[in-house]
Structure 1
Amino acid sequence: MRRTPLSIAFVIRDPLPPIRADVLTLFGAEMPQYGIGTDLVGQVGGEAAAGGWSAGAVHPVGSLKHKLASVLSPFWDALGLARAWRRAPLDCIQVRDKIASGLVGRAAAAVLGLPFVYWMSFPIVEGFEVRRDEIGRRGRGLRWLAHAARAALSRYVIYRLVLPGARHIFVQSDAMADWLAAKGFNRARMTAVPMGVDANLFRRASVTPSTDPRLDGRRVIVYLGRIAQSRKSDFLLDVVEALRERQPDILLVIAGDAPSADEMEWMRSSISKRGLDSHVLLTGWLPQQAALGYAVRAEVGLSPIPRGALFDVSSPTKLVEYLALGIPSVANDIPDQRLVTAQSAAGLCAPMEAGAFRDAVLELLGNPTMASQFAARGPAWVRTHRTYTVLAEKVAAAYDQILPDRPC
């Protein structure tokens, strides 16, 4: 336990109020246990109702729904940091997944004589480059030029100006740490903090199973999470097509929404065109407990994540959620999922190919002994390795090393 309290100003990319567990639970509930308070800085724009933030203060400046939000957010964040500084003495400025605001945070830390820390949960620059290339395949006009300029400038700012000035870099996975180390950043200045779960929310005994009659008499498999073309979500339909030939009573529940109405319509039409309406239940957005109610009715959880620069360094939440709920799972072989399935012995790992996923699902459906063993191992492994209570201890230990105690 730290001897004197510390206060962090944390600039985040996601909308305020926060809903992500790695902010809401990790910094809102767990870090105060170690004497570390957090002032959040960012823009409003989420659909969540405003709630209390007992870990510190919230400084919302600007809105993500503003048409110039991407241009104005660094200026808004600078104002938010000024408000945080005026409220109480700070011990650190930390920026998460923002590039221009990362530069603002580094400059502000230098002016105030504070350590600067960067939290990278996603390779934003590489995401910009993927978007640039997608547009380029349709022609290189002014729109492509704007995205190309954004990607090039962002690459220079983050890798030449922001990260070199960070006293420490928190990353999403060991794979991301290795990836940054290959770019020349000191591996010793990084701490990998994978995605975890709130142990109180993800207890099977506390979840009320769904009573949806469409699940009755079916072999139910589930996918919890967002639908998107960039995530190749139609792969789920490939798996169902492959499964229904051998398991006619299969039903895939997709408990999640899409980032836009167009993406949701794409998924609905894909289901219809393939004639899978009786084998796929697309729920759309659900409150968390309702989504978990569908999940615990499933015999197998699916976690296919496309391989590539964007997702190979990620730490998906859904696989850990399945294990916490005692759901035997099939996940593909991105590094973090390969690690989780190997260490937990509570899931099968397969390449992201329809035949491979089909065979793994059928193995679990046809082997009740294996499935029950997996179901028993998952929650115990998650409690030991991937709850935010466990992860908080790791994060607090990192802050003990990189942030000095404030004099009394």
Structure 2
Amino acid sequence: MRKTLSIAFIVRDPLPPLRADVLTLFGAEMPRYGIHADLVGQSGSEAPAPWPAGGMHAVGSLRSRFASILSPFWDLRGLLRARRRVRPDCIQVRDKIASGLVGRMAAAVLGVPFLYWMSFPIVEGFEVRRDEFKRRRRGAKAGLTWFAHALRAAASRFVIYKLVLPGARHIFVQSDAMADWLARQGFDRARMTAVPMGVDAALFDRGTVEPVHDPRLDGRRVVLYLGRIAQSRRSDFLLDVTEALRKDVPDVLMVIAGDAASNDEMDWMRAEIARRGLDAHVLLTGWLPQRTALGYAVRAEVGLSPIPRGTLFDVSSPTKLVEYLALGIPSVANDIPDQRLVIEQSGSGLCAPMEPAPFAAAVRRLLDDPALAAEFAKRGPAYVRSHRTYAILGRIVAETYTRILPERLPERLPERT
């Protein structure tokens, strides 16, 4: 019996990969168990490092205006290139719909299992975009655009839920909440494994992070949001919280360490800060190198993780809360299922509904109670080390492959090398 596994892995994100749940999980952790992935997808990232865990087959570019149409054909070419390098033991597709169908058919031709990795409900995202456009549309041209959104959403729903997922031997999902959600749609819960977001323990070791030297933070009660800015994420909620806090904490400074997907989104956030007169209480950094962002993080007294409730985000597994805990930052998060689970298990933060008054009250409680904040800060890193590092998650994923692909891996998983 073979002691290694070769995966042909079609990914949605640009290559070379930047996301930790691809780069760290499959690039560093899986090879320790003899599991290697040939990545297939489109170019488009600025990552300088080569792929360390197998081949990388970038066909086409996500910067192309035709990428959404051509990517299934590009991915087929990528699969053929991967097949020439090494015969895969399975084909796995992540967050792609048409390419999911390509992957299933290719697996059938090769006589290997087909697996699917769902980190986000893509179809439901298309439906939200369709509905938002319908509310805004004006004129005949807008009507045609809305029809295109509606057609894409309907076709995608049919393909993923009727053709792709039913043919998957196993489905990796982002959270237990996502697994339960898919089970309610008729998919066997036993065919799913939840792999939540984690952190690289070495990277998020507070002792190795140099605090940033920024005089704007001196003498301030710093609270932090580390992550993406977007209207769809209701990022202006952070300004609601700031307005509520400054009434009782006049020296509060909300540090928003992150960028937006477009200049329009950043312009919107800056305009909101100015309109509310919060320039003295909000520091919007824009894009930062990761080590610099962590340098801001370790100067914060409280980390914030508000995630809008709803189909798209209720099944997610946000990284930022786990990052705060790993860095020993007491945190306030709202009650989406994965965050509530982390808060309850770790005992290192407070959970509050995503409403300005109760969320701000939870932040004030941590600012006003140094002993409680210190206890939370102490518990966080220990919880992450025992539950949410990629070393731990990697073991879970490797054990899953051993269970679902017994004909291709030994029954007993080798020790992590």
What TM-score do you get using the length of structure 2 for normalisation?
0.96
Per-residue deviation, 1:33: 0.7
What residue in structure 2 maps to residue 117 of structure 1?
A: 115
Which runs of at least 4 in structure 1 moved beyond 2 Å after TM superposition?
Answer: 404-408
Structure 2 partner of 1:81: 79
* Structure 2 alignment gaps of length 5 or more: 411-417
Code of the residue aligned with 1:46 in structure 2: it is S
2:41: which partner in 1? 42
Equivalent position of 1:250 in the other structure: 252
- Paired letter, 2:55: A
Deviations 1:134-159, CA, capped at 9 Å, x for gaps: 11012360000000000000000000
Q: Distance in 2 between matches of 1:150 and 1:219?
A: 47
Q: Give 2:58's aligned residue.
A: 60
Aligned to 1:278: 280
Q: Is the 8 A contact 1:6 1:405 kept in 2?
A: no
Once the two structures are superposed, what CA deviation does each residue of 1:82-119 show, in whole Å capped at 9, x if it has no partner? 11111012101000000000000000000000100000
| Corresponding position of 2:414 | none
Is 2:236–2:272's contact at 8 Å kept on the other side of the alignment?
yes
Write the mapping of 1:135-214 to structure 2, written as runs, cut at 5 A: 135-139=133-137, 141-214=143-216
Partner of 1:295: 297
The separation in 2 between residues aligned to 1:77 and 1:221, in whole angstroms, is 43
* Letter of the structure 2 residue corresponding to residue 113 of structure 1: G
- CA–CA distance in structure 1, aligned partners of residues 120 and 189 of structure 2: 17
Deviation by residue 1:123-144 (Cα, 9 ceiling, x = unmatched): 0000000000011012360000
Whole-Å separation in 2 of the counterparts to 1:402 and 1:78: 25
Distance 2:409 2:157 in 1: 38
Q: Is the 8 A contact 2:4 2:409 kept in 1?
A: no
Task: Give the superposed CA RMSD.
Answer: 1.1
Check conservation: 1:228, 1:258, Cα contact below 8 A.
Answer: yes
User: Is this contact kept in 1: 2:7–2:35, CA < 8 A?
Assistant: yes
* One-letter amino acid matched to 2:339: Q
| SS of 1:297 mapped into structure 2 | coil
Q: Contact conserved, 1:4 with 1:405, CA < 8 A, in 2?
A: no
Instruction: Determine the structure 1 residue equivalent to 2:317.
Output: 315
Q: Kindly indicate whether the alpha-carbon contact (under 8 Å) linking 1:39 and 1:59 is maintained by their aligned counterparts in 2.
A: yes
- After TM superposition, give the deviation of residue 46 of structure 1 in Å: 1.4
Identify if the C-alpha distance between structure 1 residues 19 and 407 changes in structure 2 by more than 3 Å, giving closer, same or farther: closer
Note if 1:348 corresponds to 2:350: yes
CA contact (8 A) 1:136 1:144 kept: yes
1:327 match: 329
Whole-Å separation in 1 of the counterparts to 2:327 and 2:242: 23
Counterpart in 2 of 1:7?
Answer: 6
The structural deviation recorded for 1:405 is 4.2
Which residue, 378, 381, 389 being the options, matches 1:379?
A: 381
2:350 counterpart SS class: strand
Q: Is the 8 A contact 1:127 1:310 kept in 2?
A: yes
The aligned counterpart of 1:20 is 19
Paired AA for residue 15 in structure 1 = P
Closer, same or farther in 2 for the Cα pair 1:90/1:3, shift >3 Å? Answer: closer
What residue identity is the alignment partner of 1:14?
D
> Using the alignment, how far apart are the partners of 2:178 and 2:4 within structure 1?
30
- In the TM superposition, residue 48 of structure 1 has moved relative to its aligned partner by 2.5
2:204 aligned partner, one-letter code: F
Deviation at 1:359, TM superposition (A): 0.4
**Residue from 130, 145, 169 that aligns with 2:128:** 130
Q: How many angstroms does 1:407 deviate by?
A: 8.8
Secondary structure of 2:313's aligned partner? coil
Query: How far apart in 1 are the matches of 2:91 and 2:305?
Result: 35
- 8 Å contact 1:8–1:94 — kept in the other structure? yes
Tell me how far 1:404 sits from its aligned partner. Answer: 3.2
Return 5+ residue gaps in structure 1 as ranges.
none
Asked if 1:95 is matched to 2:82, the reply is no
Name the CA distance, whole Å, in 2 between partners of 1:168 and 1:296: 39
What's the CA shift for 1:288?
0.3
Q: What is the deviation of 1:402?
A: 1.1
CA separation of 1:407/1:336 partners in 2, compared to 1, >3 Å: closer, same or farther?
closer
Q: Which AA in structure 2 matches 1:248?
A: P
**2:71 counterpart letter in structure 1:** S
Q: How far, CA to CA, are the matches of 1:241 and 1:262 in structure 2?
A: 23
CA-CA distance at 1:219 after TM superposition? 0.2
The Cα shift of 1:53 comes to: 1.7
Q: Which residue of 2 aligns with 1:337?
A: 339
> How many residues were matched structurally?
406
